[in-house]
Amino acid sequence: MNVPAETSTTGFSYWLGALFVFLAAFCFAMKGILIKLAYQYHIDSITLLTLRMLFALPFYIGIALNLSRQAAGQSAGGSSSVMGKLTLRQWATLAMLGITGYYLASFFNFLGLVYITAGLERILLFVYPTFVLLMNAVGFGRRITRLQVLALALTYAGILIAFIGNIETSAQKNVALGALWVILSGLVYAIYLVGSDSMISLVGSQRYTCYAMMAATVPTVLHCAAANGLQLTGYPLAVYGLALAMALFVTVIPTFMIAEGIKRVGSGNASIVASVGPIFTIVLATTVLNETISVAQIFGTLLVLTGVFLISWRGKR
């Protein structure tokens, strides 16, 4: 029996979207690995973050300009421009969300990786879906179901087990301080996600990502200037190669792949597929950084992924 063209196209679009999310999860999983490799050259957190943002900035400006030209063409054809409808307050909200999600959350994450391993960082960072769930419950009155309570319990139990199992790891400078920065990064990123819903509906995910990243670059550069006079030169060539790799493969490419993936498979399915991220990080940390992965960390990871899966699955339903 021949498959109708519409069904075939829909099926292909869905699996293509799932592939985009899967590849984006792999790219995001490389972040901690690249940061750890760069830290071997004695570069501080804000300088490394600034290099990453500056290398990524031209791509976001170019994409934003291209999207604006497309919007202008549609407006000339009779369609109204979405961006023209934004008020000054909405622009300020967009900028503040970008600063929250891509400057504060990123900087806290970079700081955390100074003290703990990349494998533990990725597990701790995955606490952010539970923060999103709790914020929606408190801020918007969305009821938390029994299944979601179970998911929360599994997630935090897994994080606690992974944390305790790594306290004595010699590869980590200060587990408590590093964990604090990473969990704070997850909290701030959850605030960004919860606040982004209304803005994305106004401007679209791709344009929103561009403007949010551009806004976040400003305080990043100012922070670097205040911290060390914006001294971005004099580092080994490998540092700039790693920063460029972070800009392309951990920032620009996956942010648009995840946006396209969500459009094709939905946010619930995308969250489930993206849950493989910590597994990727653990494998990469073991093979590239020679990090030792404990049994407690593996067991904790499985509990965290189970909790995130249940939250995402419930959201999908």
Within a domain: 191: yes
Is 159 part of a structural domain of the chain?
Answer: yes
**In terms of DSSP H, where are the helices of the chain?**
5-29, 31-39, 45-76, 88-98, 105-115, 118-125, 128-140, 146-164, 175-203, 205-228, 237-245, 253-265, 267-274, 277-288, 295-316
Domain of 42 in residue numbering reads as: 24-70+85-316
User: Does residue 240 lie in a domain region?
Assistant: yes
Percentage above 70 pLDDT, the chain: 86
207-230 mean pLDDT: 95
With respect to residue 245, please indicate whether it lies within any of the assigned structural domains.
yes
Q: What is the CA radius of gyration of the chain?
A: 20
Q: Which residue did the predictor score with more confidence, 76 or 41?
A: 41
Sorted by sequence, the CB contacts under 8 Å of residue 180 that are 6+ apart come out as 112
Highest mean pLDDT among 26-30, 164-168, 196-200: 26-30
Residue 220 has pLDDT above 90, yes or no: yes
Q: Is 42 left (phi over 0), alpha (psi -120 to 50) or beta?
A: left
Supply the pLDDT for residue 9: 45
pLDDT of amino acid 137: 78
More confident residue, 117 or 266: 117
Over residues 58-78, the mean pLDDT reads 81
What mean pLDDT is predicted for residues 191-218? 87
User: Does 180 reside within a domain?
Assistant: yes
Average pLDDT over residues 23-29: 87
> Has residue 192 got a pLDDT over 90?
no
Q: Which residue has the higher pLDDT, 55 or 172?
A: 55
Does residue 175 belong to any structural domain of this protein? yes
Mean pLDDT in residue range 105-110? 95
Residue 98 inside a domain? The answer is yes
Burial of 125 (0-12, 13-18, 19+ CB in 10 A): buried
Task: Report which residue type is found at 117.
Answer: T
What is the structure's pLDDT at 167? 61
> What is the total count of domains within the chain?
1
Amino acid 191 reads I
Question: What is the distance between the alpha carbons of residues 140 and 301, in angstroms, rounded to a whole number?
Answer: 30
Judged against a pLDDT cut of 80, whether residue 254 lies above it is answered with yes
- Give the residue, 103 or 73, on which the prediction is more confident: 103
- Indicate yes or no: pTM above 0.85: no
Is residue 78 in some structural domain?
A: no
